[in-house]
């Protein structure tokens, strides 16, 4: 997809953690890391790495978009208010946190239906903290396993390449 204005990703609107609607088109021109998260998972400490990554790269046009989900092992049972409190208190996150959604199954949010079925990296979300890297035009350019640390050389190399492109 060459024209970011028509990238399907930018057509989605989701509520943030406080319930305010957010059009993903506000992120046009930025490199994104989309992550489904959970507060009671073995991968939960990745919140700290996501925050470090965000702080290191946000001034270059990078955003982390976190989508809490309770689809795997019931590891995100809390309300949006509880999730927000946990993330802000324990990990001091400052990147965008969205309201809890479903990333699999019959209740799968349309954003994740797009990511898993229509993107360049199709396939189901396999667990909490699966990551999708999106370029400045809204194209999915990477998909990373849940256990892969956001600060891994693989992800950071791909991120650096994406940020270098205008």
Residues marked active site are found at 41
Q: Both tokens of residue 84?
A: 């927000």
Rounded to whole angstroms, how far apart are CA atoms 115 and 82? 27
Q: For residue 108, give Cα distances in angstroms to 62, 81, 102.
A: 26, 21, 5
Count CA atoms within 13 Å of residue 24 on its CB side: 28
DSSP state of 42: T
Query: Who's near 21: CB < 8 A, 6+ residues apart?
Result: 13, 14, 15
Query: Are the CB atoms for 134 and 10 separated by under 8 Å?
Result: no
DSSP SS3 for 111: helix
Q: Both tokens of residue 25?
A: 């088109």
DSSP SS3 for 127: coil
């Amino acid at each position: 997809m060459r024209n970011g204005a028509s990238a399907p990703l930018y057509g989605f609107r989701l509520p943030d953690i406080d319930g305010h609607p957010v059009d993903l088109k506000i992120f046009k021109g930025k490199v994104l890391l989309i992550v489904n998260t959970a507060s009671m998972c073995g991968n939960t400490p990745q919140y700290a790495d996501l925050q470090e990554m965000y702080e290191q790269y946000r001034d270059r046009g990078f955003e982390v978009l976190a989508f809490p989900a309770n689809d795997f092992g019931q590891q995100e049972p809390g309300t949006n208010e509880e999730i927000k409190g946990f993330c802000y208190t324990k990990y001091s996150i400052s990147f965008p946190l969205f309201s809890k959604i479903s990333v699999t199954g019959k209740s799968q949010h349309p954003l994740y239906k797009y990511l898993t079925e229509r993107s360049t990296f199709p396939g189901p979300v396999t667990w909490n903290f699966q990551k999708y890297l999106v370029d400045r035009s809204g194209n999915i350019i990477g998909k990373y396993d849940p256990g892969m640390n956001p600060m891994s050389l693989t992800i950071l190399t791909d991120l650096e390449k994406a940020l270098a492109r205008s």
